[in-house]
C-alpha cells in the first residue's frame, strides 16, 4: 500500500534484511518490477513451487516483516490455501513493535493517490478503491484527520481499507483519535495482520474464510482481538481491552550502614517498585520483550543504595529517574519507600559512645513508620510523604456529647475521656525544592503538639486542627490526608467488687473501632488526583 519513492511515515524503519537486489540496482528484490518467470504460476502453486527467494518476495509484498515471511516460506508445502493463510495468521501473532514499524513504513496515507509499480503499491491502489477522491469534503477531513493522527501517534493512520468507503474510513479515523497510545498500537498491529492476510489471499487467488475482519469503528474491538488473532469478538460493542496496569517488586527489605565515621548510621527501608508504560504485549500475548524483570528491579534497589540512601523521598526519585531514563517504553511508575525507626542505645560507658549513646548499637524506635510515595507520569513527578502507625493517647482533655440518639444508641455521653489513635498521615509536596528530612521532622512535631494541645470535642476536630497547623506552617505542602482510628478505652465497672473507679482502670478495645478519615487542603491549590491514584485506602 505504498509509494516507495517517498517516506510517508514519521516512524519509517529501514530493515537491512530487505536490501538484497535482483534486476535493477538498488531495488529490493521483493519490489523488483521485473518479475521472474517462475512467478507466472497461479494460485497456491505460486507459493508452494517457487524457489525460496521468489516465495519470500511474494510474502514480503504483503507485509514487510522478514521473520513472518520466513516462517510462511519454511512451512511449505501447504495442502490448500486455507492452510497457508492459517500459517500466516499464526506467524503474525504477535508481531514485535519493531516489525510493526517496519511494516507501517511501507504504507501510504489513506486518501492520497498511490504511485509506483511495485506489488505493494498495486495492493494499496486496489484496497483504497472505495475512497471517492471526488468527494471534496471527505478528502479534506481525511487530510486533516491524517495530520492530527500523525501528530498524536507518530505514524500514519492504518486501516484495512478493502471493502470500506471513504466515509466509513473517516469515521474510524476520527473514532481512533480518542484512543490512548497503547490501545491504538494494538489496533494498528491487528489491522496490519488483517491487511497482510488479505493480500496473501489475493496472491493465492482465494478469499479468506476466517477470521471475520474486525470493525475498527469500535476503538477497543481490534485491541481485544489482538489477544486471540484467530477468533472474532462475538459482539463488537462488548469488546474487552486492557486497562491501567503496573507491575514490579514489592517490599524489598534493605539495611544501609554508613561507616564513613566511627559513629555509624543505619537506615532500614522497605521499597516497592512498580513500572508503568507500554506493557500491553506482555498481558495480551505473553511477549516479555518489554518486561523489566521484577528481580532486576530488586537488584537495582540494592545497587542504588550502594551510593547512599538519603531521605526516602530522594531515594524513590532516584529509582524513578533510573527506570524511566533507562528504558524507553517505561513512561512512569510508582515507588513506595517505608523507613523504620532505629535509635541509638543509651549508655553510661565511655567506650564506643558519644554524648551518652552508643556509636554502633541500636534499638528499635517508636511505633511509627516514615513513608514516601513517588509517582512519575511522563515528565510529571508527584511526591507524597507521610507516616503511619504513630500511636498517641491523651488521658484527659477530650469530650464526646451532643450526638443524635435513636433506639439503637447505647453510648453514654462524656465530658472527660481517653482519646487515643494511631495516626496515618500523608501530605503532597507542591515543589521539589525542599529538605525532605527537615520537613518530615517538623510535620511530625506539629502533628504531635496539636494532638496534645487541642481540647477535643471529637476526633474529627482534632484531625482538622492537626492538618490546619501543618498547612499554616509549611506552604510547600498542598494538602494532607489522615486516617485515624478511634482506639476506644472503656471505663471498667468495678461496682460489683465494691470498688469505685474514678477514671483509673480502663478496658482497651482493639476492635471494632471508629475510623475517621479526611483531607485538609489549601483552597487556592488545585488538587491533583494523579498524586493519590495508587495510595492504598484513603491515605
Pairwise CA distance, residues 102 & 292, whole Å: 24
- Count of Cβ atoms closer than 10 Å to residue 159 Cβ: 22
Residue 524 lies in a domain: yes
In this predicted structure, the answer to whether residue 450 has a pLDDT above a threshold of 60 is yes
Provide the whole-model pTM.
0.60
Q: Residues 200, 266: one domain?
A: no
C-alpha separations of 402 from 406, 411, 413, 457, 513 in Å: 13, 11, 8, 10, 20
Q: Residues 65, 120: one domain?
A: yes
Which tens digit of pLDDT belongs to each residue from 147-198? 888 888 888 898 888 878 888 888 888 899 888 888 888 899 889 888 999 9
Q: Which three cell numbers stand for residue 204?
A: 493465492
- Per-residue model confidence (pLDDT) at position 114: 53
Q: Residues 196, 257: one domain?
A: no
Q: Which domain holds residue 475?
A: 247-532
Catalytic residue among 96, 165, 294, 357: 294
Q: Residues 446, 331: one domain?
A: yes
- Per-residue model confidence (pLDDT) at position 249: 97
Alpha-helical runs (H) found in 279-414:
280-285, 294-305, 312-326
In this predicted structure, the answer to whether residue 115 has a pLDDT above a threshold of 90 is no
Identify whether the C-beta of residue 279 lies closer than 8 Å to the C-beta of residue 291: yes
C-alpha separations of 107 from 61, 170, 334, 405, 474 in Å: 11, 17, 38, 73, 57
Residue 527 lies in a domain: yes
Q: Which of 382, 407, 351, 348 is nearest to 477 (CA)?
A: 382
Pairwise CA distance, residues 47 & 210, whole Å: 20
Q: Residues 251, 382: one domain?
A: yes
Strand partners, 519: 481
Confidence of residue 19 (pLDDT cuts 50, 70, 90): very low
Identify whether the C-beta of residue 123 lies closer than 8 Å to the C-beta of residue 61: yes
Biggest distance spanned by C-alpha atoms of the chain: 115
C-alpha separations of 353 from 263, 264, 347 in Å: 8, 11, 7
Burial 2-17 (b: 16+ CB within 10 A, else e): bbbeeebbeeeeebee
363 Cβ contact list (under 8 Å, min separation 6): 342, 343, 344, 345
- Count of Cβ atoms closer than 10 Å to residue 285 Cβ: 16
**Last residue of some domain: 140, 173, 204?**
204
Count of CA atoms in the C-beta half-sphere (13 A) of 448: 12
Lowest mean pLDDT among 219-223, 312-316, 428-432: 219-223
Give, to the nearest 10 degrees, the angle between helix 312-326 and helix 294-305: 130
| Strands 330-346 vs 357-377: parallel, antiparallel or unpaired | antiparallel
Identify whether the C-beta of residue 92 lies closer than 8 Å to the C-beta of residue 229: yes
Identify whether the C-beta of residue 111 lies closer than 8 Å to the C-beta of residue 166: yes
Lowest mean pLDDT among 89-98, 427-436, 473-482: 89-98
Identify whether the C-beta of residue 59 lies closer than 8 Å to the C-beta of residue 73: yes
Q: What is the mean pLDDT of residues 194-207?
A: 89
Pairwise CA distance, residues 94 & 91, whole Å: 7
| Strands 514-521 vs 477-486: parallel, antiparallel or unpaired | antiparallel
Q: Residues 197, 256: one domain?
A: no
User: What's 325's domain CATH number?
Assistant: 3.10.270.10
Q: What is the mean pLDDT of residues 340-364?
A: 94
Provide the domain count of the chain: 2
Residue 352 lies in a domain: yes
Identify whether the C-beta of residue 65 lies closer than 8 Å to the C-beta of residue 103: yes
Residue 189 lies in a domain: yes
**Last residue of some domain: 140, 169, 204?**
204
Strand partners, 375: 334, 382
Count of CA atoms in the C-beta half-sphere (13 A) of 354: 8
* Whole-number percent of the chain with pLDDT over 90: 57
Q: Residues 271, 172: one domain?
A: no
24 Cβ contact list (under 8 Å, min separation 6): 32, 33, 34
Residue 224 lies in a domain: no
Which tens digit of pLDDT belongs to each residue from 318-349? 999 999 999 999 999 999 999 999 999 999 98
- Per-residue model confidence (pLDDT) at position 401: 97
- Count of Cβ atoms closer than 10 Å to residue 385 Cβ: 26
Which tens digit of pLDDT belongs to each residue from 41-65? 568 888 999 999 999 999 999 999 9
- Per-residue model confidence (pLDDT) at position 285: 77
Q: Residues 384, 458: one domain?
A: yes
Q: Residues 271, 191: one domain?
A: no
Place of cell 481540647: 455
Residue 239 lies in a domain: no
In this predicted structure, the answer to whether residue 37 has a pLDDT above a threshold of 90 is no
Q: Residues 175, 79: one domain?
A: yes
Residue 3 lies in a domain: no
Count of CA atoms in the C-beta half-sphere (13 A) of 413: 7
Q: Based on DSSP, count helices (H) and strands (E) in the chain, helices before strands.
A: 15, 11
- Per-residue model confidence (pLDDT) at position 221: 37
Confidence of residue 227 (pLDDT cuts 50, 70, 90): very low
Calculated CA dihedral for residues 292, 293, 298, 301, nearest 10 degrees: -10
User: What's 160's domain CATH number?
Assistant: 1.10.3330.10
C-alpha separations of 380 from 151, 153, 317, 362, 431 in Å: 21, 20, 12, 39, 12
* Whole-number percent of the chain with pLDDT over 70: 82
Which tens digit of pLDDT belongs to each residue from 492-517? 999 999 999 999 999 999 899 999 99
- Count of Cβ atoms closer than 10 Å to residue 536 Cβ: 7
Pairwise CA distance, residues 228 & 367, whole Å: 51
Residue 230 annotated as catalytic = no
Alpha-helical runs (H) found in 327-435:
none
Residue 488 annotated as catalytic = yes
Identify whether the C-beta of residue 128 lies closer than 8 Å to the C-beta of residue 23: no
Q: Which three cell numbers stand for residue 52?
A: 525460496
Output the average pLDDT for the chain: 84
Lowest mean pLDDT among 237-241, 282-286, 367-371: 237-241
Q: Residues 191, 272: one domain?
A: no
Identify whether the C-beta of residue 128 lies closer than 8 Å to the C-beta of residue 114: yes
- Count of Cβ atoms closer than 10 Å to residue 302 Cβ: 12
Catalytic residue among 107, 155, 358, 488: 488
361 Cβ contact list (under 8 Å, min separation 6): 344, 345, 347, 352
Residue 414 lies in a domain: yes
Q: Residues 121, 252: one domain?
A: no
Identify whether the C-beta of residue 479 lies closer than 8 Å to the C-beta of residue 525: yes
Catalytic residue among 249, 298, 338, 394: 249
101 Cβ contact list (under 8 Å, min separation 6): 11, 12, 13, 155
- Per-residue model confidence (pLDDT) at position 219: 37
In this predicted structure, the answer to whether residue 28 has a pLDDT above a threshold of 50 is no
**Last residue of some domain: 152, 180, 204?**
204
Q: Which of 124, 12, 128 is nearest to 62 (CA)?
A: 124
Strand partners, 491: 506
Amino acid at each position: 500500500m505504498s509509494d516507495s519513492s517517498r517516506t510517508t511515515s514519521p516512524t519509517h524503519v529501514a530493515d537491512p534484511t530487505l536490501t538484497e537486489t535482483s534486476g535493477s540496482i538498488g531495488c529490493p528484490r521483493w519490489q523488483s518490477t521485473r518479475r521472474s518467470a517462475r512467478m507466472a504460476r497461479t494460485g497456491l502453486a505460486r507459493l508452494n513451487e517457487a524457489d525460496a527467494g521468489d516465495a519470500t518476495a511474494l510474502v514480503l509484498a504483503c507485509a514487510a516483516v522478514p521473520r513472518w515471511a520466513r516462517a510462511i516460506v519454511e512451512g511449505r508445502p501447504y495442502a490448500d490455501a486455507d492452510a497457508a493463510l492459517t500459517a500466516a495468521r499464526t506467524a503474525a501473532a504477535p508481531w514485535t513493535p519493531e516489525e510493526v514499524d517496519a511494516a507501517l513504513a511501507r504504507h501510504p496515507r489513506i486518501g492520497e493517490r498511490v504511485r509506483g509499480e511495485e506489488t505493494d503499491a498495486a495492493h494499496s491502489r486496489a484496497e483504497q478503491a472505495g475512497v471517492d477522491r471526488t468527494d471534496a469534503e471527505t478528502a479534506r477531513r481525511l487530510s486533516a484527520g491524517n495530520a492530527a493522527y500523525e501528530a498524536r501517534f507518530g505514524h500514519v493512520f492504518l486501516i484495512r481499507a478493502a471493502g470500506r468507503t471513504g466515509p466509513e474510513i473517516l469515521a474510524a479515523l476520527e473514532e481512533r483519535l480518542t484512543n490512548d497510545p497503547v490501545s491504538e498500537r494494538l489496533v494498528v498491529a491487528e489491522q496490519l495482520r488483517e491487511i497482510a492476510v488479505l493480500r496473501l489471499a489475493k496472491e493465492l487467488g482465494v478469499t479468506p474464510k476466517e477470521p471475520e475482519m474486525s470493525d475498527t469503528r469500535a476503538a477497543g474491538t481490534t485491541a481485544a482481538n489482538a489477544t486471540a488473532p484467530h477468533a472474532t469478538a462475538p459482539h463488537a460493542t462488548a469488546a474487552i481491552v486492557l486497562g491501567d496496569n503496573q507491575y514490579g517488586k514489592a517490599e524489598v527489605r534493605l539495611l544501609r550502614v554508613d561507616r564513613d565515621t566511627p559513629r555509624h548510621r543505619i537506615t532500614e527501608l522497605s521499597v516497592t517498585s512498580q513500572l508503568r508504560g507500554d506493557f500491553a504485549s506482555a498481558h495480551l500475548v505473553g511477549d516479555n520483550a518489554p518486561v523489566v524483570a521484577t528481580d532486576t528491579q530488586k537488584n537495582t534497589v540494592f545497587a542504588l543504595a550502594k551510593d547512599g540512601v538519603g531521605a526516602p523521598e530522594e531515594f524513590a526519585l532516584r529509582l524513578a529517574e533510573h527506570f524511566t531514563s533507562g528504558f524507553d517504553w517505561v513512561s512512569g511508575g510508582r515507588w513506595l519507600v517505608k523507613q523504620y525507626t532505629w535509635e541509638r542505645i543509651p549508655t553510661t560507658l565511655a567506650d564506643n559512645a558519644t554524648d551518652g549513646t552508643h556509636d554502633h548499637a541500636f534499638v528499635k524506635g517508636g511505633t511509627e513508620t516514615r513513608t514516601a510515595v513517588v509517582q512519575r507520569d511522563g515528565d510529571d513527578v508527584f511526591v507524597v510523604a507521610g507516616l503511619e502507625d504513630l500511636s498517641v493517647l491523651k488521658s484527659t482533655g477530650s469530650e464526646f456529647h451532643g450526638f443524635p440518639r435513636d433506639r439503637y444508641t447505647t453510648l453514654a455521653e462524656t465530658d472527660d475521656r481517653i482519646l487515643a489513635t494511631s495516626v496515618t498521615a500523608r501530605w503532597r509536596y507542591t515543589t521539589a525544592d525542599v529538605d525532605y528530612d527537615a520537613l518530615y521532622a517538623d510535620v511530625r512535631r506539629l502533628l504531635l503538639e496539636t494532638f496534645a494541645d487541642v481540647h477535643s470535642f471529637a476526633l474529627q476536630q482534632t484531625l482538622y486542627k492537626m492538618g490546619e497547623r501543618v498547612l499554616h506552617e509549611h506552604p510547600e505542602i498542598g494538602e494532607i490526608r489522615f486516617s485515624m482510628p478511634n482506639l476506644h478505652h472503656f471505663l471498667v465497672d468495678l461496682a460489683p467488687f465494691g470498688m469505685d473507679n474514678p477514671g483509673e482502670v480502663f478496658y482497651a478495645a482493639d476492635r471494632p473501632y471508629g475510623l475517621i478519615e479526611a483531607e485538609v487542603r489549601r483552597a487556592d491549590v488545585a488538587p491533583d488526583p494523579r498524586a493519590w491514584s495508587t495510595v492504598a485506602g484513603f491515605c
